[in-house]
Amino acid sequence: MNLSVLFKYYEKNKLKICEEWNARYIGEILLNIDDHHISDAEEWIKKAIEADERNGLRCFLADDYVFYSELYKRKADKSKAKEILD
């Protein structure tokens, strides 16, 4: 998979609603590639959360936080995963 193509697509995006989706999906892809990309995936999910907050898209924040929680489960930090969902 050519990740640079995905990153360029994110940079070229002009639609606010797609900013969050693109960031979250890139994060999901990175997380599912292997465990070496966990920190990169975390950066992308944070971008998704920031985009939703900045653009007032609260309806998508729940999905972002669920994914963020899954990331911490993958890191074997269940207490942080639970904290994110509280």
Give residue 35's pLDDT.
84
Residue 66: the pLDDT is 92
**Nearest CA among 41, 38, 39, 64 for reference residue 51:** 64
Q: First vs last Cα of the chain: how many Å apart?
A: 35
Residues 29-75: tens digit of each pLDDT: 999 998 899 999 999 999 999 999 998 888 889 899 999 999 999 88
- Rounded CA gap, 38 and 49, in Å? 16
Q: Is the pLDDT of residue 1 over 80?
A: no
pLDDT bin (cut points 50, 70, 90) of residue 2 is confident
Domain carrying residue 63? 3-85
Predicted confidence at residue 42, as pLDDT, reads 95
Q: Name the domain count of the chain.
A: 1
Return the structure tokens found at 31: 């997380």
Structure tokens given for 65: 């936080």
